[in-house]
Amino acid sequence: MTAYVLRRLLQGVGAILGVITVTFILTYIVPVNPAQMIAGPSATPEVVQRISHQLGLDQPLPVRYVHYLWNLVHFDMGRSYAQRTQVSALVATHLPVTLKLMLTGIACELLLGIPIGILSSVAQGSWWDRGFTLFAFVGVSTPQFVVGLILLYLFGYLVPWLPLGGYGNGDLTHYVLPALSVGFAGAGWYARVLRSSLIDVLRQDYVRTARAKGVKPRAQVFRHALRNALLPVIALVGLDLGVFMGGVIVVEQVFALPGLGQMMWQAIQVLDIPVIMGGVLMTAVFVVIGNLIADMIYPLLDPRIQYH
Amino acid sequence: MTDILETATDDIREEARSSGRRSWWQRLRGDRTGMIGLVLVVLVVLAAVFAPLIAPYDPNRQFANGLSQFGMPRPPDASYLLGTDLLGRDLLSRILFGARVSLIIGLVANGVAVAIGAVVGVVAGYFRGWLGTVLMRFTDVMTAFPALVLAIALAAILRPSLWIVALVIAMVNWVYVARAIYAQVLAIRERQYIEATTALGIPTFGVLVRHILPQLTMSLLVFATLGISTSVLLEASLSYLGVGVQPPTPSWGGIINASQSYLTTAPWLVLFPGLAIILTSVGFNLFGEALRDALDVGGRR
Amino acid sequence: MRKWAIAFAILLASAGVGFAANSTVVLTFQNDISTLDPAIGYNWDNWSMIQAIFDGLMTYKPGTTELQPALAKSYTVSADGLTYTFDLRQGVTFTDGEPFNASDVKFSFERMLDPATQSPGVGFFTGIKGAQAFIDGKAKDVSGIQVLSPTQVQFTLTQPDATFLNKLALNFAFAVPPKAVAKWGKDFGHHPVGTGGFSMKEWVSGQRLVLVKNPDYFVPGEPKVGELDFQFGVDPNVAFLRLQRGEVDILGDGIPSSQFAKVMSDPKLKQLVVSSDQIETSYVALNTTIKPFDSLQVRQALNMAIDKKQVLLVNNNRDVAANQILPPAMPGYNQDYKGFPYDPTKAKQMLADAGYPNGFSSVLYTSNVDPNPRIAQVIQQQFAQIGVKLDIRSLSPSAVIDAASQGKTPMVWSGGMAWLDDYPDPNDFWWPILACSSAVPGGWNWPRYCNKQLDAEGQKADAMVQPSQKDARLALWRDVFTKASNEAPWIPLFNARSYVMHSPRMGGIGFQVAGIYTPVNYKEIEIVGGQ
């Protein structure tokens, strides 16, 4: 088990290294010299040249790459060209927002998805079940930004119960609509996953045994089946983090939440490469951690899968 | 959501098994939601193909009477059925022509993704060893890359055109196909008869073509349908972020991107293209799932 | 000045907190600012915030474009226009308690000129004697800046410059305290300390910035409010709704385009709007070194092909159609010049005469920040009518600026990027963007226009430094710009107007910005009414 965890961790680090490499190569292809932007309109070519040199932009790619990694090992993500501050400082202010949106979003997925999944598995084939199936289909078929904009219009403008987006003082009311927007698609999807895995579990022997022993149907579902059926859902949440982060970025854009997505988006606008790198790195770390957790859980639920 | 693809083959088999021995076509015909999906798909395809005939106006024409004195777009009325956009263009015409962009990107991007994914998955799954490890590690790296971030980065660097956007989406989506196919090939390979073929000395290529690929056809067909929905959604998100197909080419996400700041004063500019995206995506999802049930990849052989 | 409005159209808001205190003014911006370092900040949003925290030797009389001394008490200019001697105010301290003196002036200039600071303002000051040697690392200090006594400082120039005093009023020339700079190093921009009317109390990145009144400010009666509370991450639409609810005093990003019609047709709302001409021209740059724009006839034809009314309409009819390079608010503007009238038929004929009877295809670069892609599409549609097919490249502002400054762009729509004055003098519309010296890689002369004769005329004008020569100098510049306008390196489309919307309780001459402040002069806004 320990060896397995260690190996997965190493693989995770490898994946992050891969992400850094890919991003690095991508930013290198950018045909724009950020030194020009920093130097301003009245700069002479010499000044631009000098700034280029200060930023190390005139060095060959491998040198810059090794340099970046070296700094990274020392917890230094470099300085932002545009914001004139440490990337780590920017990440520190934007990360909590993204984390909160992630957590509230996942909470929305599960709080909506699990009850719906249970209800439709219990009432399999009923009118409820069909309604929920439709909901699930619309959920996975609607881009987060459309959900977000519709929610904004309804509950921010027409019936102004909630803030029209933004961060304000950062209280939870600012996360309700964004979290619903990122969670909507996932809720539908997990409801379907849970439904089919519940139906699966309910058919299995030990549940039948429990039923034969006279355990009441509701208790059956909750005590015996649900525990086993929930695990794949939770594992899936971990595996889906990559896709989920994409949604978070779009929704931050819809609601103007000052999270990592906004940070990266603005950085892309001004080709602030250290910030783009920092943002990609952070999201990759999340995804790797999520996948790691999923990998830990998977063997737990199916004894046939071994830690190897 | 691309995850649909991943578990596509497992969780529905069970249900499909119960549907007996009718042919897949009969089962598909009998699936009412699937047929609704098919109708939606056909409608979108018709809109895209016949856009020049159906659209009331040239989608790029800026009408002088399409904007009020202070540049406000016109709400839906008799002359502009779905209203006008921020440049005084007919929204209905733009949405109809936008269907072309969505469909082309959906088909091309997903086709490329399925092709790459299938090759990587089959090669990695069949040969395993160092080649398989390298391929699947690379796939892991790509999954650790938040799909949209990758797409934004790519699109920001490469100048976004229709084909570039399709390619970017394919670059993101093949990963999920590769993973699922890889798992399937591994499973198929475990079966006795493949080992037997190896023992009999049948050449690798022959085994791949005659014994492995046929078992994947149905899965690939399902990916090819369901994945269109994913690609359409990703295209919409990219266009919404402004890194998709560039104006004046009409695209649904692009229309929303351009007009979202008018959400409270001209909500139709967000609502109608939003509906178009949802209906298209629902259509391909419903039809794709029905196809998956009907083809029942694991159940019959 | 580049005016990045890296404005992302999004909906958002902030919690409904009322006014914290009566003397606190609440302002909203969509995006956080990048820095408050006067040597570095060069964006439309932080420009006037820096002016509120720091001072230079010179400033403008509030509400006007008239120069007056600030940290200087008085000054003298030598007869040859090469030497400027300033007597400094005494008893001025930075807000950290450090006294201000003449050596701080020299320190501030050398810090700004030091390549390590990466100041975008260096180009304004290379005319100071010894500045170039210092920048090149050939000298330890700038020989042209002499500290004569703790209260006296002298600048020597390499050639006369009629706008040198204007340049001293730029943010880049503001005084910074050596101790605080040493303490914070590169992060000084996030921990600013100046002599100004306000000092920074709090800055939470991406969320809020609070500036409080400096009670010891040397200008009596300024500032007129106790606290400025900048809230970031607020979408213009939301800010607008909150202003109507009485929670916001000033819309930092202006009136959102979706609400503009509503505001302008409602008398009650309209009276809360202060509009003024900006010293700005938005234009299409035609690269004179790329075919077919090397042909004067083609450039003139294109000038006649755009119905500017349609362009204005797409931007809410906010702005004023332009017919020449200089904006009307800039001294030297030619009242009698009519430019090229809209006449697509004649334009088509001229294109045919120039050898393009079927038009041609070209590429138009534009910033991807709204409304610029829309305006580019109007241009595209209008050109299509005379057979000119445009491919629009809508990129991030920095990508467009980079491409254009390398001279690679056939056509550039300048909206959102250029050109807003740095100071109200016509030479700021010549040397950085139209002179031969700026038609080099990295230069902002996007049409790559170079007319040596006009350059010489401009140099002659700038050597006229005596107050008595002012009118003659302006006449000379007017002539330069009229001739240049006729050569059509640009298609001038409009001159922007700024619309600042405030709560009913706000007033003061701070809202009369005279093309110098963005969006307002924070030291001169005041609370005039009850809540």
Q: What is the 3-state secondary structure (H, E, C) of C9-23?
A: CCCCCCCCCCCCCCC
Q: Which two tokens stand for residue B197?
A: 């073929």
Q: Are C474 and C332 spatial neighbours (Cβ–Cβ below 8 Å)?
A: yes
Contacts of B261 in chain C (CB under 8 A): 9-11, 235-237, 256-258, 370
How many residues are listed for chain A in this entry? 308
Crossing angle of helices B268-295 and B91-127, in 10° steps, is: 40
Interface of C with A in 203-222 (CB under 8 A): 204-207
Q: Facing residues of C213 across strands?
A: C198
Higher pLDDT, B242 or B279: B279
Tell whether C8 is within 8 A of chain A (Cβ): yes
Model confidence at A160: pLDDT above 90: no
For residue C76, the SS3 value is: strand
Contacts of A260 in chain B (CB under 8 A): none
> How far is CA C202 from each of CA A90, C52, C191, C225, C227, rounded to the nearest angstrom?
16, 15, 9, 17, 11
Beta-carbon separation of B140 and A11 below 8 A: yes
CA of C383, closest CA in chain B: separation in Å?
13
Residue A54: pLDDT band (50, 70, 90) is confident
Q: Chain C 237-276, CB below 8 Å of chain A: which residues?
A: 237-238, 241
What mean pLDDT comes out for the span A65-88? 85
Longest C-alpha distance within chain A, in Å? 87
Mean pLDDT to the nearest integer, C31-45: 89
Q: What is the pLDDT of residues A249-291, one digit of tens each?
A: 889 888 888 888 888 887 877 778 888 888 888 888 888 888 8
Q: Report how far residue C373's alpha carbon sits from residue C381's, in angstroms, rounded to the nearest whole number.
A: 12
C59 touches chain B (CB under 8 A): no
**pTM of the entire structure?**
0.81
Q: Are strands C145-149 and C227-231 parallel, antiparallel or unpaired?
A: unpaired
**How many whole angstroms separate alpha carbon C237 and alpha carbon C229?**
19
Q: Testing the interface with A: which of C35, C118, C122 to mutate, by most A Cβ within 10 A?
A: C118
pLDDT in tens, B136-187: 888 877 776 766 776 776 666 666 778 888 888 898 889 888 888 888 888 8
- Which of B57, B74, B87, B245 has the highest number of chain C CBs within 10 A, making it the mutation to test binding with C? B87
Please give the average per-residue pLDDT across B115-142, as a whole number: 86
Residue C94 near residue C195 (C-beta atoms within 8 A): yes
Average pLDDT over residues C132-137: 92
Partner-chain contact C10 B260, CB within 8 Å: yes
Using an 8 Å CB-CB cutoff, list chain A residues near B186: none
B72 in contact with chain C, both atoms CB, cutoff 8 A: yes
Query: Do the chains contact at B157 and A29, CB–CB below 8 Å?
Result: yes
> Who contacts C158 (Cβ-Cβ below 8 Å, separation ≥6)?
C82, C127, C128, C129, C144
**φ, ψ for residue A41, nearest 5 deg:** -70, -25
B21 touches chain C (CB under 8 A): no
B64, B67, B264 member nearest C237 (Cβ): B264
What's the mean pLDDT when you consider all of chain C?
A: 90
Among candidate residues B214, B68, B233, A127, the one with its CA nearest the CA of residue C258: B68
Which burial class, exposed, middle or buried, applies to A4 when counting CB atoms under 10 A from its CB (0-12, 13-18, 19+)? middle
- How many A-B residue pairs are in contact by the CB < 8 A criterion? 161
Could you tell me how many residues make up chain B?
301
* Cβ <8 Å between B261 and C236: yes
**Which of these, A58, A46, A14, A62, lies nearest to A284 by C-alpha position?**
A14
Cβ-defined contact of C124 to A54 (cutoff 8 Å): no
3-state secondary structure of C135: helix
From chain B, the residues in CB contact with C364 under 8 A are: none
How far is residue C435 from each of residues A264, C411, C453, measured CA to CA in Å? 37, 18, 10
Contact A276 B148 (CB under 8 A): no
What is the distance between the alpha carbons of residues C55 and B294, in angstroms, rounded to a whole number?
Answer: 76
Amino acid at B134: V
User: What's the confidence (pLDDT) of residue A223?
Assistant: 66
Tell me which residue of C16, C446, C194 sits closest to A163, measured CA to CA: C16
User: Chain C within 8 Å of B159 (Cβ-Cβ)?
Assistant: yes
Q: Which chains touch C (3 or more CB pairs under 8 A)?
A: A, B
Q: Which residue has the tokens 């549940």?
A: A207
For residue C147, the model assigns a pLDDT of 97
At C89-103, the pLDDT tens digits run: 999 999 999 999 999
Closest chain B CA to residue C394: B246
| Placement of tokens 């619903």 in the chain | A180
Rounded to an integer, what distance in angstroms lies between the CA atom of residue C60 and that of residue C53?
Answer: 15
Q: Which residues of C touch B68 (CB under 8 A)?
A: 261
* Residue A74 confidence class, pLDDT cut points 50, 70, 90: confident
Question: Closest-CA residue in chain C for A33?
Answer: C402
Query: What pLDDT shows up at residue A219?
Result: 66
Helix axis angle, A87-122 to A241-255, nearest 10°:
110
Highest mean pLDDT among A231-245, B85-99, B202-216, B243-257: B85-99
Residue type, A240: D
- CB of C400 less than 8 A from some CB of A: no
Q: Give the DSSP per-residue string, chain B.
A: -THHHHHHHHHTHHHHHTTTTS-HHHHHHH-HHHHHHHHHHHHHHHHHHTHHHH-SS-TT---GGGB-TTSPBPPS-SSSTT-B-TTS-BHHHHHHHHHHHHHHHHHHHHHHHHHHHHHHHHHHHHH-HHHHHHHHHHHHHHHHS-HHHHHHHHHHHSPP-HHHHHHHHHHHHHHHHHHHHHHHHHHHHHSHHHHHHHHHT--HHHHIIIIIHHHHHHHHHHHHHHHHHHHHHHHHHHHHTT-SSPTTS--HHHHHHHHGGGTTT-THHHHHHHHHHHHHHHHHHHHHHHHHHHH-TTT--
Nearest Cα neighbor of B118 from B225, B186, B207, B216 is B216
Half-sphere exposure of C340 (CA within 13 A, CB side): 28
Which residue, among C263, C307, C374, would best test binding to B if mutated, counting the most B CBs under 10 Å from its CB?
C374
What span, in angstroms and rounded, lies between the C-alpha atoms of C228 and C238?
19
Query: Positive or negative, the Cα torsion across A173, B241, A276, C39?
Result: negative
> For residue B269, what are the CA distances in angstroms to A252, B264, C243?
21, 10, 25
pLDDT at B296: 63
